[in-house]
Amino acid sequence: MKTLDVSSADFLDMAESPSYNRLSFGGASVSFRAPVSRFASCPFEEGEIVKVVWRGKTLLIGPAIDLEHSLEGTSESWDIRICDYWWNLSNIQYFVNGRANGIFAEYRQGTGGSGQEKQATANIRDVLSGVLDHAVSTALVPIKYDLRIDKDAEIIPFAYSSETYASLLSQIQQWRPNMAAWFEYGADDSATLVIADHAHLPDVVLDLSAVDVSALSLKVRPDLVPPAVGLTCNASVISRVQRALAVYPSGASLSQPYVVTAEVDVPGGVKVSDTAGQYSPVETDSLGYDAPRMIVRGDKFPTGTAQWAARVKRWAPALEDCAGLEVAASPKITSITPADAEHRGYSSAAVTHELTSGQINGKSARIKWGKVRVDLRVRATDPPDTVKQYFPEYGGKSGTGDRWIGTLTFEVTTTNVGYASYRVDRAGTVESVSDDGGSSGDDETSGSYDTSALYKNFLKSYYEATRALPYDGSATVHDDFDQVCGGRLSITGGLKEWEAMRSVIQEISLDLKTGVSDVTVGAPEQISLQDSIDRSRQLAEALRRTAWADSSTSAGGGSSGGGSGSGGGGSSGADDEVPELPSVGPSVKLLQAQEPPAWGTSAVEVGFQCRLSYGSDGKVSDAYIRQGKAIYAGNYIGGLLPEGDGSGGWVKSPVTSGEIWLKIRLDKDAKYLGSSLSAAGGVSDPVSLAEEKRETPYEYYFHLATIDGSKVVQHQAGTVYLLIHPGTFGPSGMS
């Protein structure tokens, strides 16, 4: 094995454009151009294993590849790239070797009531071990591996074909946010591939006060902190009616911004529409249209504000982090006519219950659906930045911080029943209806099992892995940045929020001559589960089309005519037609956040800024002016002014509508006397430098703001200047 020291003077004098690049989940490489004498051989052979050293540390061990000779006039050189063993994993295909389930030879199973076992999820550690064991034993990739991953981390088995080892690893990575991989090298030059998830990544600190950083760009990514994670499926191969298999947190709405959802195939032999409702399917022999029963459940709207607060958190789980969240008053519930009101079963009176599970096909006159608009006034103490847009109105000080108020508007699908069951047949035969959420007691529970429980661990781990607010960005570091690519970066010596950001280092590019590193942080595209699932589903599309055709033929939909002349007890073709399927299901949508009034609720605080405080009824209750400073003759006078009732640098305004004026008084010797707020201004009597003896105080008036309803027009903010009378040597008096 050759050793190449890329920090030596000989190498740096010889090499042109030497650089080192490594990815958080894609290996590392060193590339450079080596000038040579005319028609000289390359210093390395294609595929030769090389050890690359930088300042006494092993950067990588792996093959020299892509050796390219170039001749330009009298200049001749070789372009050389040396990669780590990830290159081997990226260029060798995986083939099943006697394992019936391939990389999913080991998986966790759920058991139905009939005793038949159903594949639901696989353990990520087992799957990764299957891939890497195969790479070492069959492809003879000379590596060891160390999996630093939670032992309970799960993955949903997916289809794959003609994959390399690296592409399989990358597909697995999509199921575990912020998973990284890198090589560690031992004293005996052994290579160990480390694969770690978010909880086991090393922490990396970049201290701006101690390190020379010439460029820094960071962007917060709240869209990568999903308020809920859900898996959906199709209730039937034929109908493709979408249903939710599992949601985390439990009961959260999937109709929110930034929610992560993925559609998976129904587990074999499972029907998604029986006794336990939307989230609890039961076993049957068919996935076709002939599901025997649909369960509809509704939840009555609350009557108290505490219950409404709990309902709001279920509808918008992002608000769980709001301290002291309260619903200020009973919300306003208004029946609305949706765009799809032409669906059968719509009724403007069916607004007593939120539709929480099941779907309504409109065939029964006893089971109706509707839509309502729910407007709520909510309060919270210092809400986090991720939800601050929902609380634009300042509500004054509380014992623990600033109170903020906002109006949330939800659009909710409703129903007129607490519980109902009906047969999914041509008539939509109703079996039972009640006003509460309990069942009638005649549910067919034989053979039932809860698929939401099977997927709960997977969804929970995915959800918990995305709680830290990530940043996208880059930095140019001029000092030695010898850190693990894949580490969780925090930055000190800058903004306070950077100290806790823990964003994953995705790429490091090092200029070997200058020692300058370009560091890229952020979240890779692995947040999209659906990409991986769609790719898997495409491989099975031919089988799906075959199943579709077979199901259509068995249902009688493929028969061509046929008379009824035989009489007797035979079934007609009409009896075998697919019945109309449910069309309206649960839906909760959080509409656009309330627009904040100009200036009146700004979180930015400047001198003499006017801020409004709102009561629980949404009306302006008080107005406050931020204390500021005044300058006279080049000096600050009076400290913070105006004086008055208030706290925290805010003075209560005497008015909540109309104009607000600041009055400042100086004595006859131009010494500060005092200041106050008033609803009316006056004529300023500025200081004059004339020698005439003055007996009365000087007065200055400043128009700070005008309150128009819930809007604030700010006329002056920052610092006020007390000017000297322009006619200073003329007679004194009002100007």
Tell me what pLDDT residue 491 has. 92
Residue 715 domain-assigned (yes or no): yes
433 and 316 fall within a common domain: yes
Residue 575 domain-assigned (yes or no): no
618 and 690 fall within a common domain: yes
pLDDT tens-digit profile of 243-291? 667 788 887 887 788 888 876 655 444 444 433 333 333 333 333 333 4
592 and 707 fall within a common domain: no
> Six-digit token pair at 211?
């390190």
Phi, psi for 627 (deg, rounded to 5): -60, 140
Residue 544 domain-assigned (yes or no): no
Please, which pLDDT band fits residue 406 given cuts at 50, 70 and 90?
Answer: confident
Asked whether residue 655 carries a pLDDT value surpassing 70, the answer given is yes
E strands of 189-331, at which residues? Answer: 191-196, 203-207, 213-220, 229-234, 242-248, 260-263, 270-271, 282-283, 294-300, 323-327
Asked whether residue 139 carries a pLDDT value surpassing 50, the answer given is yes
* Percent of the chain residues topping a pLDDT of 90: 30
589 and 690 fall within a common domain: no
655 and 587 fall within a common domain: no
> Six-digit token pair at 343?
């669906």
Report how far apart, in Å, the C-alpha atoms of 451 and of each of 156, 233, 254, 454 are: 13, 11, 18, 5
590 and 696 fall within a common domain: no
- Please give the distance of CA 63 from its chain centroid, rounded to a whole number: 39
Residue 491 domain-assigned (yes or no): no
Tell me what pLDDT residue 44 has. 94
pLDDT tens-digit profile of 660-710? 999 999 998 889 999 999 998 888 888 887 777 788 899 999 999 999 887
650 and 686 fall within a common domain: yes
Tell me what pLDDT residue 573 has. 37
Please, which pLDDT band fits residue 622 given cuts at 50, 70 and 90?
Answer: confident
Asked whether residue 371 carries a pLDDT value surpassing 60, the answer given is yes
CA-based nearest residue to 108, from 150, 151, 154, 147: 154
Last residue of a domain, one of 549, 571, 596: 596
User: Helix (H, G, I), strand (E, B), or coil: what is residue 185?
Assistant: strand
pLDDT tens-digit profile of 586-601? 888 887 655 554 445 5
- CB contact at 8 A, 519 and 491: no
- CB contact at 8 A, 308 and 376: yes
Residue 271 domain-assigned (yes or no): no
Last residue of a domain, one of 84, 118, 134: 84
Q: Report the range of poorest mean pLDDT among 252-266, 406-420, 507-521, 553-567.
A: 553-567
Instruction: Give the β-pairing of 28-35 and 242-248.
Output: unpaired
Average pLDDT over residues 411-423: 89
Last residue of a domain, one of 596, 631, 654: 596
**Residue where the block lists tokens 């305004």:** 653
Longest dimension (CA), the chain: 125
Average pLDDT over residues 561-570: 35
Q: What is the mean pLDDT of the chain?
A: 77
Please, which pLDDT band fits residue 94 given cuts at 50, 70 and 90?
Answer: confident
pTM over 0.85: no
- The boundaries of the domain holding residue 54 are 2-84
Specify the higher pLDDT residue, 692 or 192.
192
Tell me what pLDDT residue 556 has. 38
590 and 710 fall within a common domain: no
Tell me what pLDDT residue 77 has. 93
Which residues lie closer than 8 Å to 359 by C-beta, 6 or more apart? 241, 294, 296, 582, 583, 584, 585
Residue 193 domain-assigned (yes or no): no
Asked whether residue 728 carries a pLDDT value surpassing 80, the answer given is no
Amino acid at 610: C
590 and 665 fall within a common domain: no
Which residues lie closer than 8 Å to 322 by C-beta, 6 or more apart? 380, 381, 383, 384, 387
Residue 500 domain-assigned (yes or no): no
Q: How many domains does the chain have?
A: 3
590 and 659 fall within a common domain: no
Please, which pLDDT band fits residue 68 given cuts at 50, 70 and 90?
Answer: very high
632 and 708 fall within a common domain: yes
Asked whether residue 209 carries a pLDDT value surpassing 50, the answer given is yes
pLDDT tens-digit profile of 532-546? 455 444 544 433 443
317 and 406 fall within a common domain: yes
Tell me what pLDDT residue 599 has. 46
Residue 245 domain-assigned (yes or no): no
Average pLDDT over residues 17-34: 93
Please, which pLDDT band fits residue 727 given cuts at 50, 70 and 90?
Answer: low
Tell me what pLDDT residue 426 has. 66
E strands of 443-576, at which residues? Answer: 471-477, 488-492, 503-511, 517-521
Tell me what pLDDT residue 603 has. 58
Asked whether residue 240 carries a pLDDT value surpassing 50, the answer given is no
